[in-house]
Amino acid sequence: MATIYSDPSTTIYREIDNAVEIPGKRAPLVLGGRDFTSVTEVVTDVNLKPAPFGWYVGFGVAFSFFLLYVFCVGMLLTTGVGVWGNNQPVAWAFDIINFVFWVGIGHAGTLISAILYLFRQNWRTGINRFAEAMTIFAVVCAGLYPALHVGRVWLAYWLFPIPNQMAMWPQARSPLWWDVFAVSTYATVSLLFWYVGMIPDLATLRDRSKARLAEFIYGIASLGWNGSCRHWHRYERAYLLLAALATPLVLSVHSVVSFDFATSQLPGWHTTILPPYFVAGAIFGGFAMVLVLAIPAREWFGLKDIITMRHLDNMAKIMLATGMIVSYAYCMELFIAWYSGAHYEQSLFKFRALGGPYAWSFWAMMFCNAMVPQVLWVRKWRMNPWILFLVANIANIGMWWERFVIIVTSLNRDFLPSSWGLYWPTWIEVGMFAGSFGLFFTLFLLFCRFLPIVAMAEVKSIMPEAHPHHQEPHKQTHDEAAGDYRPDEHHVPKPKAH
């Protein structure tokens, strides 16, 4: 029910707490009395007006971290994998932790653009574009880790089934090889999804840019899109199909990542709930990252009318829900380890949680992922962007610890006590991890500068004016089915400056 308002200029439309839910009435998702024109303006201004000083500062910081990344990768390539702290028995460490961490972050973007689309969640339109961008950049950061971990990166093409006269083929039963397919398919499909979604908005930028060069480049990139409804028809169908394809894909990607662990016989890795648990964790961490990006972005780019408190509220709730699913999986693992009576399982979990050298990391994970998100039950705290920002950051940290716990604590005690060992990262690994954030934010800031950060066409399509008949004579409908969305009658409109 999008026909909530007939007249966008009504004061209640301008000033409203749209996070309040009134059953039977759908809250407006674009506030501030904005119409199509001003939505176009506020979004394209980000790209077409000169960048604010803060952008240069942010880009400078991000880029210097990126240089750190380049340096550490250089050290790695010129010296060898020995510059990392990986050892026996902890043969997988920071590289795989960070790989899983970054891939996981990407999943929220696909969830927002695909799954919420299938569920007809209109609020996704405000945030889907940069969530998708986040997906792509996170996958870039993720994919680099295993690519660098192969050691001889110049032979990385051996990962692909390229016909050769030696009949030397990859091993298709290896979960690591499934990863090659899963991650490259995911990267491709995410890129396509992102780009297809962006075509109409690139056309908007083409039509609004004053500079010749910008017009030319946006013109090429938008493929000559002219808003034809015959095009829109196929475009919408294609978008729906992509969403329907991306949904199982996103599940499969993190499931395949979890198979890397779960197909083994290692206690702590080999557990059947790992696939859905990894997916839920990925979405939890990914939504945390979306919040980390969205909260400052709406502030700095003046997008508070498009990324409203309701958007933040909904994202916080999804974080809470997925956080609870992750906690459910923690409980199942602990319960089944105890119930199974399996000696190794029990020992591993005892060691993981109590008494092992990494027990603190288990409790850090529990604190960040299971306990801290509980504050999101309280509406007042969800309504506070500062608290949300803090919780989201803690959740991100928690999800990183989760991967640390899974990988390092399971590996460092082998079945044979003689091969037990500890793992600590070297400064190169820490530098690479910090540097991967530099890479991520460099790409993200470039995206904010040059590409439409809000899916304008989609935002417009969910505005009340976008629906034919919204001005049909029977105004009484607003008192019946749709009704006026008046969460707070005494919310006296304040004069608002635009």
Partner 1 sequence: MEAIQPTADHATSSIDVIVPTVVGLCAEFDDVTAVTETAARVRDAGFKYWDVHSPFPIHGIDHAMGIRPTILPVLVLMGGLTGCLFGITMTAWINAFEFKMPAPFNWTNLQGYQFFISGKPLWSLPAFIPVIFECTVLFSALTTVFGMLLLNKLPMLYNPLFRLKNFRRATSDRFFIVIDAGDPNFDRQKTAELLRSGGAVSVETVDE
Partner 2 sequence: MGSHSHANRLDSDVTRLRPGNGGIGIFLMLAGLAGVIVAAIVSYTGAHDLVRFYRALLFGVAGYLAISCSALLFVLINHLVRAGWITNVRRVLETLAIQIPLLGILLIPTIITVAKQDGTIYSWAVPSDTPEVHHGAGDAHAATAGDQHGAPAAPHVDNHAAGAKPVHTETAKLQHVGKTDNIIPGYHAGEVSLPYPNEQVRPGVERDFDRLVAEKNHGWLKPAFWIFRIIAYLAILTWVAWYYRSRSIAQDATGDVDISSNLQKISGPLLMACGLIVTFIAFDMFMSLDPHWFSTMYGVYFFASGTQAMWAVMCLTFIILQSRGYLKESIGTEHFHDMGKMLWAFIVFFAYIAFSQYMLQWYANMPEETFWYDKRGYSTAHPNGYTPFALILLIGRFIIPFLGLVSRHVKRNRFGLGFWSVWLLACFFCDIYLLIMPEFHWAGTTHELRFGLPEFLCVAGVGALWLGNMIRMLAANALRPLRDPRVHESLAIQNI
Rounded distance, CA 372 to CA 366, Å? 9
Provide the residue count of the chain.
498
Of 64, 228, 272, 419, which lies in the binding site for partner 2, with binding defined by CB under 8 A?
A: 272
229, interface contact from partner 2, partner 1, none, CB < 5-8 Å by kind:
partner 1
Which residue, 39 or 376, is less far from partner 2 as judged by CB?
376
- Chain positions 226 to 245 lying near partner 1, rule: CB under 8 A, are 226-238, 241-242, 245
- Chain positions 54 to 113 lying near partner 1, rule: CB under 8 A, are none
**Terminal C-alpha separation, the chain:** 28
Are the beta carbons of 44 and 208 closer than 8 angstroms?
yes
Q: Does 370 bind partner 2 (CB under 8 A)?
A: no
Window of 298-306, 326-334, 402-410, 490-498 that interacts with partner 2 by CB under 8 A: 326-334
Shortest gap between Cβ of 300 and partner 2 (angstroms)? 31
- Chain positions 250 to 269 lying near partner 2, rule: CB under 8 A, are 251-252, 255, 259, 262-265
Q: C-alpha angle with apex 281: 276 to 283, nearest 5 degrees?
A: 100
Shortest gap between Cβ of 384 and partner 2 (angstroms)? 19
Window of 235-243, 400-408, 423-431, 449-457 that interacts with partner 2 by CB under 8 A: 235-243
Report the candidate in 64, 45, 67, 48 with the shortest Cα–Cα distance to residue 56.
64
373 upstream amide cis, omega within 30 of 0 = no
Are the beta carbons of 285 and 18 closer than 8 angstroms?
no
Which residue, 202 or 289, is less far from partner 1 as judged by CB?
202
Shortest gap between Cβ of 177 and partner 1 (angstroms)? 7
181, interface contact from partner 1, partner 2, none, CB < 5-8 Å by kind:
partner 1
Q: Does 488 bind partner 2 (CB under 8 A)?
A: no
Q: In degrees rounded to 5, what are phi and psi of residue 171?
A: -95, 105
Please state the three-class secondary structure of 107-161 as a single string. Answer: HHHHHHHHHHHHCCCHHHHHCHHHHHHHHHHHHHHHHHHHHHHCCCHHHHHHHCC
Cα 454 to the center of its chain, rounded Å: 15
How big is the site for partner 2, counted in residues (CB under 8 A)? 55
Shortest gap between Cβ of 59 and partner 1 (angstroms)? 28
In 3-state terms, what secondary structure has residue 22? strand
Of 14, 26, 298, 352, which lies in the binding site for partner 2, with binding defined by CB under 8 A?
A: 26
> Which positions from 239 to 278 touch partner 1 by CB under 8 A, shown as an x/- string?
--xx--xx-xx--x---x--x-------------------
Shortest gap between Cβ of 419 and partner 2 (angstroms)? 18
245, interface contact from partner 2, partner 1, none, CB < 5-8 Å by kind:
partner 1
How big is the site for partner 1, counted in residues (CB under 8 A)? 72
Residue with structure tokens 């899916």? 455
Are the beta carbons of 394 and 287 closer than 8 angstroms?
no
Are the beta carbons of 125 and 462 closer than 8 angstroms?
yes
Q: Does 3 bind partner 2 (CB under 8 A)?
A: yes
CB atoms within 10 A of CB 317: 14
Handedness of CA 19, 22, 28, 31 (dihedral sign): negative
Report the candidate in 70, 72, 78, 96 with the shortest Cα–Cα distance to residue 149.
96
Chain residues binding partner 2 by CB under 8 A are 1, 3, 21-26, 118, 120, 236-237, 240, 248, 251-252, 255, 259, 262-265, 270-276, 320, 324, 328-329, 331-333, 336, 338-344, 346, 377, 467, 469, 472, 474, 476-477, 480-482
